[in-house]
Amino acid sequence: MESNVTSTSESITSVMSAGGRPPGSRREIKIIDTTLRDAHQSLWATRMRTEHIVSMASDFDKVGFEQVDLVAPIQFDVAVRYLKEDPWERVRLAHEHAPHTTFRALIRSRNIAAFDFLADDVIEAWVENLYANGFRVIGSFDGLNDVDNIVPGLLRAKELGASTFGAVSFSESPVHTDELFVAKAIELIEKADVDAIMLKDAGGLLTPDRIRTLVPALKDVIGDRPLEIHSHCLTGLAPLVYLEAVELGADALHLSIAPLANGNAQPATQGVVHDLRALGYTVHVDDARIETISEKLTEIAETEGKPVGQPVAYNGLHYMHQLPGGMLSNFHSQLATAGLSDRYDELLLETARVRSELAYPIMITPFAQFVGTQAVMNVITGERYKLVPNEIKKYVLGYYGKLLAAIDPAIREKIIANGASNIALEPAPIEPMLPALRKLHPDEDMDLLLLRAMFAGSQVNEMKKTVAAGGNPDEIYKPILGLIKSLYAKSPTGTQTLTTTDLQIILDKGDSEDAA
């Protein structure tokens, strides 16, 4: 029988240069689509609206993806706080318009969309509500790879009948060894009996060299459970990493449809599928449907002025600070406000130093924000750890889980001394939240109560008000304004008329010389 894994002497380059392999001569590779979740999170600041998703849902339903990633906590956060949309209604509409699609949901540890941990009753109700609203694949990750933080939610999902996946969160540091990741995969299987393991590389840090040792090590311990590979194109290496992973036995790849791919997002479905087939693998997706979705995404981007993903050059500096792209732009802004724009490189070095001193947390939410904020304070004040955010003190005290290494005692002492005095040295048990929320909002269903557990103040009320009024006008009129701009731009001179049932817009673009 032919091995599913290529020999070390048979590189992808040599296979391709020799004309590839016969089509369908090797095993099937499953595709997990991320366009509707992580792709727009990475490229559009999570600003894909419900109407966008609904407009493409019927095509997604016919592509043949193994699963379609639809929500993580940030999709709820942005929907409530910025788009003023009901995220649970989005979930229901997606399932309604794509009834044959297996949508999946991702949970972030025990804090979901908050920074601090939430009560156990909220975590359990969140899982139950995901299942009640149609999700049959539910997974979870923890930024410290503290499996105990995510086991209860995964077990509840399995009790309900969902298929589950546990994420092994990848990072590069002296403590993030292959042995650690293997141990965490075993722990996920033994404690939560997950149905699949997801190698989650949110920082786009995986390299072909690292994947050659890590994938075989994981495959050796997970049995017949599928191994999924999830990365980002931040260093330009992810497409090659994916192909190497498949050659070494990976079963499923997380891809997004261009133009909502590359850059900060996942590799493009179109290119990777083409390469997989050239290597002889079977991939059951409908290329024509993917092209239809691609055209719709292009139209949305052009109409609303949204960016599209572009391949990026290799950037070795990324391995030093490991910061997400969005935080880099925030750093520029913060330093400019403080009149310290010339200290940007110093800030990146300080970020790397703080991370090493704090036992190498993975630079994803919320830990990227914790480390980045401390680094900014260190640079701006000129004295390291003189000002300490509450979250940093809680982090070193174990509020967010077990650290992977010890923190230098002198630095730990300074953080505790300079942090807020009202933060207890031992985290107290978190009291149930739902009874009090039910008492405050007796007429609201679980959808809204869970949102209130996550979002403080008036944010949920503002969302409810906007939904009741017919939607957020800032978002509703974006397609119309985009169309008007497009018409104006395409016509050098003359008159363009846009007519609907009860509205007529006339664009009169005179000759540029006359206008001057």
Looking at residue 246, its pLDDT comes to 98
Q: How confident is the model at residue 230 (pLDDT cuts 50, 70, 90)?
A: very high
Q: How confident is the model at residue 339 (pLDDT cuts 50, 70, 90)?
A: confident
Rg over alpha carbons for the chain, rounded to the nearest Å, is: 24
What would the 3-class secondary structure string for 225-293 be? CCEEEECCCCCCCHHHHHHHHHHCCCCEEEEECCCCCCCCCCCEHHHHHHHHHHCCCECCCCHHHHHHH
pTM of the model: 0.88
**pLDDT higher than threshold 90 for residue 409:** yes
**pLDDT higher than threshold 60 for residue 500:** no
- The CB density around residue 404, as the number of other CB atoms within 10 Å, is 18
Q: How many helices (H) does the chain have, and how many strands (E)? A: 24, 10
Looking at residue 494, its pLDDT comes to 65
**pLDDT higher than threshold 90 for residue 497:** no
Q: How confident is the model at residue 341 (pLDDT cuts 50, 70, 90)?
A: confident
Looking at residue 324, its pLDDT comes to 75
**pLDDT higher than threshold 60 for residue 514:** no
Looking at residue 516, its pLDDT comes to 34
Q: How confident is the model at residue 382 (pLDDT cuts 50, 70, 90)?
A: very high
Q: Is 453 helix (H, G, I), strand (E, B) or coil?
A: helix
Q: Residues 232-258: pLDDT tens digits? A: 999 999 999 999 999 999 999 999 999
Looking at residue 238, its pLDDT comes to 96
Whose tokens are 């290329």? That residue is 287
Q: Residues 424-435: pLDDT tens digits? A: 999 999 999 999
**pLDDT higher than threshold 80 for residue 322:** yes
**pLDDT higher than threshold 70 for residue 126:** yes
**pLDDT higher than threshold 50 for residue 201:** yes
Looking at residue 476, its pLDDT comes to 53
Q: How confident is the model at residue 511 (pLDDT cuts 50, 70, 90)?
A: low
- The packing angle between helices 446-454 and 120-132, to 10°, is 140
Amino acid letter for position 102? T
**pLDDT higher than threshold 80 for residue 474:** no
On whether the CB atoms of residues 83 and 475 are closer than 8 A, the answer is yes
Half-sphere exposure of 245 (CA within 13 A, CB side): 31
Distance CA 46, CA 70 (A): 11
Q: Residues 249-297: pLDDT tens digits? A: 999 999 999 999 999 999 999 999 999 999 999 999 999 999 999 999 9
More confident residue, 471 or 96: 96
Q: State the chain's maximal CA–CA distance in angstroms.
A: 77
Looking at residue 515, its pLDDT comes to 36
CA dihedral 277, 282, 286, 288 (to 10 degrees): 20
- Among 289, 362, 301, 326, residue whose Cα is nearest residue 68: 289
Looking at residue 471, its pLDDT comes to 78
Looking at residue 508, its pLDDT comes to 66
Distance CA 92, CA 393 (A): 40
**Sign of torsion over alpha carbons 44, 335, 108, 145:** positive
Looking at residue 496, its pLDDT comes to 67
